[in-house]
Amino acid sequence: MSSAFERAFAGHGGPLLRLEDLRVHIPTSRGVVEAVDGVSFSVDEGEIVGIVGESGCGKSMLALSIVRLVPSPGRIVGGQVTMRGRNLLTLSEREMRRVRGSDIGMIFQDPSASLNPVMRVGDQVRETVEAHRSITGAQARQHALDMLRAVRIPSPELRYRDYPHQYSGGMRQRAMIAVGSVNQPKLLIADEPTTALDVTVQAQIIDLLRAMNARHGTAIILITHNIALVSRFCTRVFVMYAGRMVESGPTLEVFETPKHPYTDALLKAVPRIEERNEKGLVPIEGRPPDLARKPRGCAFHPRCLQRKDICVVEPPPPLEIAPGREARCWLAQKTSPFEQDARLSS
C-alpha cells in the first residue's frame, strides 16, 4: 500500500526516487543492529527534502544504502530503491558505479576523510568527469575548472593544483560539492554538509546547493540534525528515530503542528532567538535505544511523556494525518495533544 505522501504527489508523473520498506542490518557481537528498519519515502524531480534526527538514528546509513555503499559487515536485507522505475538494488556493481556520480551525487559528512589526501583537488573533480563522460582529458580538466569556479573556489586555476590539506574547511566542503555535482546529477544526497563549519560558511554552502537546485533542477536530500536549516531550505521533512521514519510532511506544517512526540521534543530542544522560554531549553529525557535491542512497541516509548499502554506493547503503523502527512504514533489524530496544549496555554 502506498503511503499518504506518495499518493499526495502522484500527480507529478511519479517520483524521481522511491524507497519501499528498505532494511539494513549490521551483525555485531551484541546482536543484529537494525540500522534502517522498513523505511519508505519518495523524492520528486527537483524537490528538496530534509531528513532529521539525533545522532545514531540511521540517517547516514540510509544515505549510504541508497547508493549501495553500506560498509561491511552491514548489508541491505530487504526492500527496494527505485530511481525512475529502475531498482538500484538489482543492478550489478558495474552498473551501480555508473549511477554514482552521474545520476546520484553524494556529499559526505567529512570532506577531510572523503577527499584523497595525496591527489590534487582539481584532479579529483576531473577524474569524476572522466569516469562518466567520453571526452578528452583537456575537456575534462576544463569542466573541473568550471565546477571549481561555480562552487566559488577562489583563483580556481591556481587552487586546482592544491591538495586537500591546503584548503580551509569551507573550501574542502565546496570541493566535495564540486565532486558530487560536476556531472549534474538528477539527485544530490548531502549528508551533514555544514557540520563543523561556522555560520557564515554554512550559509554559503546552502546557497550553493540552492543555486544548483534552481539552475539544474537537481533534487536534494539534506541529511542533518539542524532543524533551523531544514526549516529554511526544505519543502518536505522526514523525522527519523531508531531506524524508522516517525513523521513526514510539508516542513512548515510538521514544525508548526508536530504529530509525533519525538518531533515535538526535537523542536522544544532548539533555541529560538525570537522567543524567550522561561523554562529554558527542554532536553529529551533518556537516550536513543540500542538498535540491536530495540524496546518492544514504539521505540520512543521509554522517553515519551505521553505514552499509553498500547505504546509499550504494539509498534504503531504509519497513520495518515492529512494528505501528504504521516506520523507513526498511536497519539496521531486529527487534533494532536500538542495542538490542544497550545490552545490551553494561549
Find the mean pLDDT for residues 231-244.
96
What pLDDT is stored for residue 171 in this prediction? 92
Question: Is a pLDDT exceeding 70 seen at residue 9?
Answer: no
Q: What is the DSSP letter of 287?
A: -
The answer regarding whether domain 4-93+235-345 maps to CATH 3.40.50.300 reads yes
What pLDDT is stored for residue 282 in this prediction? 76
Question: Is a pLDDT exceeding 90 seen at residue 223?
Answer: yes
Main-chain dihedrals φ then ψ at residue 32, nearest 5 degrees: -85, 120
If we measure between CA atoms, which residue out of 113, 110, 148 comes closest to residue 128?
148
Sheet holding 31-43, edge to edge: 31-43, 17-28, 75-83, 86-87
pLDDT in tens, 63-78: 999 999 999 999 999 9
Minimum mean pLDDT among 22-26, 107-111, 129-133, 334-338: which range? Answer: 334-338
Residue 269's pLDDT band, with cuts at 50, 70 and 90, is confident
DSSP-based three-state secondary structure for 21: strand
Find the mean pLDDT for residues 212-234.
93
**Angle separating helix axes 169-181 and 121-132, nearest 10 degrees:** 10
What pLDDT is stored for residue 279 in this prediction? 59
Question: Is a pLDDT exceeding 90 seen at residue 120?
Answer: yes
Residue 190's pLDDT band, with cuts at 50, 70 and 90, is very high
Domain parsing of the chain, residue ranges:
4-93+235-345
Rounded Cα distance between 322 and 308, Å, is 23
Q: Over the chain, what is the mean pLDDT?
A: 88
If we measure between CA atoms, which residue out of 332, 338, 324, 337 comes closest to residue 256?
338
Q: What is the separation of C-alpha 311 from the centre of its chain, rounded to a whole number of angstroms?
A: 27
Q: Which residue has the higher pLDDT, 268 or 279?
A: 268
- Residue count of the chain: 346
If we measure between CA atoms, which residue out of 229, 146, 152 comes closest to residue 190?
229
Minimum mean pLDDT among 153-162, 196-205, 335-344: which range? Answer: 335-344
Minimum mean pLDDT among 20-24, 205-209, 299-303: which range? Answer: 205-209
Q: Return the biggest CA–CA distance within the chain.
A: 68
What pLDDT is stored for residue 272 in this prediction? 67
Give the whole-number percent of the chain exceeding pLDDT 70: 89
Residue 343's pLDDT band, with cuts at 50, 70 and 90, is very low
- Other Cβ atoms closer than 10 A to 323: 11
For the record, the C-alpha cell of 96 comes out as: 551501480
Rounded Cα distance between 176 and 153, Å, is 11
What pLDDT is stored for residue 197 in this prediction? 81
User: Are 138 and 129 within 8 A, CB to CB?
Assistant: no
User: Are 182 and 147 within 8 A, CB to CB?
Assistant: yes
